[in-house]
Amino acid sequence: MNKLLLFIACFILTANACTSQQLSATDRIMLQKKEDSLKTFALDIIRGRNSDIRFKADSQFTKMFVRALKIKGSFYYPFDSLITISKLTPEDSTFRIFTWQLAINEDLVRQHGAIQMRTADGSLKLLPLIDKTDVIKNIEDTIANNFDWIGAVYYKIIEKKAFGKNYYTLLGYDENNINSNRKIIEVLTFKDGEPIFGGSFFSFQDNSLDKNSFARYIMEYKKNAGPRLTYDPEMDMIIYEHLISETGEPNKKYTYIPDGDYEGLKWRDGKWVHIQKVFTQKTPEGKEPVPLPIRDAQGNIDESKLSQRMPENAGSETPNDAKTVSPLAPEKKDN
């Protein structure tokens, strides 16, 4: 369960000044007290030693959390100390979405959650998320509402616009079962104030991939394989690792592992358009970059460059002088 904590991050960026305008001092104190009580239950949902403890913690947490959210102006309270609960708010701050998971046993995990809508008077409008993944026949092509939710713990929200409408893309994680995990790309929209999960938002040009009709994109892979699925704001693109079956059995998703290649999705005219290869530049063999080569074109060692490579404090026993930090970020410890 500890791996889940790496996928949970809070992206609520409401400034303190704004918060103080929307939430009274009295209500803030009340919410702080309730948050202190909620912390223990939130941790036990994930870390409870057995299913009975986790079930009880989940039940107590849910009841107490709803009572806390009923406090006027709670939308502007961040609940930062609830580290096992994912809390995401889009740029337009029209809502925020809470998600968490409950492990029933090694082979069965359920997600719980709710959407809290922002209201003008600070009152509570809460839409529960009911995980129906186990009873939906085909989760990839099902368009659902909050009562037929394809459960996931969301770790990133991407707000996009098209044709005068807002679209909220959610990146999620699901500890599916004892053999495999899933990562999910889910597009959330609202119609008459009600949430709709999924739709025709993906365009794949490769004819071998019949994914244009899929309501959401699902990566299922071998337990602990850890393929990357993230959003790069500089490239303005969803980037994910290509998966292959390590045993040559493409029908068995639990054998899928990343092969080091990356694909992408770019938002264009209301759809995420597939990019077959994100990184196409290749370094020719023998042309790898060398910071300061010590050999000349004929292969002879240039001794003058050897001295340039020696550090000024050669011989120092300072521990930090002997360490190099890799610039490569680990997989999805972002979110």
Please list the pLDDT of the chain residue by residue as tens digits (335 residues): 555 544 443 333 333 434 445 899 999 999 999 999 999 999 999 999 999 999 999 999 999 999 999 999 999 999 999 999 999 999 999 999 999 999 998 889 999 999 999 999 999 999 999 999 999 999 999 999 999 999 999 999 999 999 999 999 999 999 999 999 999 999 999 999 999 999 999 998 754 445 556 899 999 999 999 999 999 999 999 999 999 999 999 999 999 999 999 999 999 999 999 999 898 655 455 555 555 555 666 666 665 554 544 444 433 333 333 333 332 333 444 44
What's the confidence (pLDDT) of residue 329?
Answer: 35
SS3 3: helix
Q: pTM surpassing 0.85?
A: no
Q: What is the pLDDT of residue 205?
A: 73
Beta-carbon neighbour count of residue 224 at 10 Å? 9
Residues 222, 178: Cα–Cα separation, whole Å? 10
Judge contact between 197 and 169, C-beta under 8 A: no
Measuring CA to CA, which residue among 212, 217, 216 is closest to residue 196? Answer: 216
Q: Find all residues with CB under 8 Å of 328, minimum gap 6, and list them.
A: none
**How far is 174 from 52, CA to CA, in rounded Å?**
21
| Structural tokens at position 31 | 């919410």
Give the C-alpha separation, 64 to 42, whole Å. 11
